Structure 1
């Protein structure tokens, strides 16, 4: 009997302590949830939780991954989260459902935004990013991953209008065929974003010329991710310069385990690209061989596919 009574008392004590948690502690707990979880579940638990969910300081960061709900519901929830921020929004992450209209709503109601991250948002365009550039001059971090319809023009607009931009992720789906080379985005970045410290260009079509332009135009770069940029060959003088200038460098064939999106690719066969059996490796000097081993930190090609690394 005493044991049963003790369990009941303990349960009541735990419940009372949970509800009486200081408001700042409750806000910390809520910050572990994404926006959809708060707006569809947590705020409905009780009046105390509903009150906490309306605290503008809770909405300085909005994280909205694709939850599987309809785009309309997510769009409505995102607008509500922005409204709840009451102008305090500093960082927002949206996966899959962003549109130009939603970007416009963000720029009109979050003038102090510092970080904008868009993943797999195929319905945004240059027009939407033009408004971002025009209305968010304090932007410091921009992530546009796997979003089609974006050209060098919007990158140039961002670069010209957002002088405080320190981090850019402009990621695409890497592929080898058909073989396409383009330095448009690389030149836009090099010419308009001199203060960049971190740059990720996963799957970009830039060549060595575009990379060299970035190294010249962005002297403050500390990290550079070139994974699956298959037109880049980091040997000789360019490889040496990258090693000296960039503290954290990811090479085209580096592992993609920590990349948050699908990164598998069909590399094809060596002979398809070089039916004559000749590749860049045939034109390397002995010094290039020695430098490659030193640069990659290996004594052989075990970490890279020998054929594919020079198969351009």
Structure 2
């Protein structure tokens, strides 16, 4: 009898482990096999988080009833299979999800903004809403006032989002710890001072930073004294990059900084080097013009963080690599060698001479030569240079097309 009970226990735990890999529909089918399988398939551990990846829902009413029965707290719809078009399923979803009152976290897939608006009203108990593939072009934030318990809110449209209300609608979200508002048109015209009231924020992602006001750093960012991660996208033209970096260096808890599609201006190296609190850094420059200067500034700034930096990701666009290869082919190689040249991968970038170096921890980085001279540096050589000068830093150089720059993050790159 002892062996029988022991074997039964082992079999139960083994099946429970295996069932974790089943999709929802397979889990429901498995529960029809026998009483033991039914009990295992209904175990709360298997239903606490439900992921619908590569699955298609034929009845949201049935799904909602099942989620409510098992007390599901986290529903992940990302990469769910949608019928052609997909829009016709969302009214049923909005009606059905209302009864799942135990739900605290939801990740949405490609859906209209109206789904998020209705969800805020029907499920005000939600603590996390992640909607980063919104399909439509406009959204009203007024309904989000009901989300008084929200801790994480991420909104992003696949083609740019226009808000029909100001972000003042979010001001009552006192529990908010993670906020992401990217791809939102005319965000600079909104009342950005509202962000300074989210004093519990630990991470902040903002896009369309080009026309942010000059006081964004000094009067908004610096008030977020619990902020640990900051991501800013599209800081071009008139963006007050130096004022932002001045604020960053004074934020004691801020350790991760991501600058995506930012213009790198003269003096950026010293401004970045002053941010000795930064441990994880992602930089993807715009590379619209003066690429050699841009790379010199990035390299010089990163080397100044030698003592503190633990992770560094440098995004280099494929467009820059192609232009550099074309420059090398046409300008630097004698015509008679072109035919004999071995076909390479063209992975080189221009850097102003002298290439920034740190011979020891107390050495100064030499400024660029006058008049400017350019050195073509192969990416493997750049990687080696960084690893030699940043021996305690995990370094990665990303080669990415421009259209994919928005999808890059430190977490995805170093794991």
Equivalent residue, structure 2, for 1:63:
107
Equivalent residue, structure 1, for 2:242:
186
Q: 1:229 to 1:8 in 2, by over 3 A?
A: closer
Q: 1:137 to 1:12 in 2, by over 3 A?
A: same
Query: 2 CA distance for matches of 1:296 and 1:213?
Result: 19
Q: 2:179 aligns with which of 103, 116, 130?
A: 116
Are 1:140 and 1:167, in contact at CA under 8 Å, matched by a contact in 2? yes
Are 1:183 and 1:206, in contact at CA under 8 Å, matched by a contact in 2? no
Aligned-pair CA distance for 1:21:
3.1
Equivalent residues in 2 for 1:111-190 (5 A)? 111-122=174-185, 124-134=187-197, 136-145=198-207, 150-172=212-234, 184-190=240-246
Aligned-pair CA distance for 1:285:
7.4
Are 1:235 and 1:292, in contact at CA under 8 Å, matched by a contact in 2? no
Do residues 28 (structure 1) and 49 (structure 2) align? yes
Higher relative helix content: 1
Do residues 50 (structure 1) and 50 (structure 2) align? no
Q: 1:49 to 1:295 in 2, by over 3 A?
A: same
TM-score (norm 1): 0.63
Are 1:122 and 1:148, in contact at CA under 8 Å, matched by a contact in 2? no
Do residues 223 (structure 1) and 293 (structure 2) align? no
> Residue 191 of structure 1 aligns to a residue in which SS?
helix
- How many positions carry a matched residue from both structures? 266
> Residue 264 of structure 2 aligns to a residue in which SS?
coil
Structure 1: state its 5+ residue gaps: 1-6, 175-179, 254-262, 306-312
Q: 1:215 to 1:183 in 2, by over 3 A?
A: farther
- CA-based RMSD: 4.8
Higher relative strand content: 2
Query: 2 CA distance for matches of 1:56 and 1:211?
Result: 51
Equivalent residue, structure 2, for 1:206:
264
* Higher gyration radius (CA): 2
Structure 2: state its 5+ residue gaps: 1-28, 73-98, 128-146, 288-293, 333-348, 358-365, 367-374, 389-396, 400-415
TM-score (norm 2): 0.49
Equivalent residue, structure 1, for 2:385:
295
Q: 1:9 to 1:130 in 2, by over 3 A?
A: closer
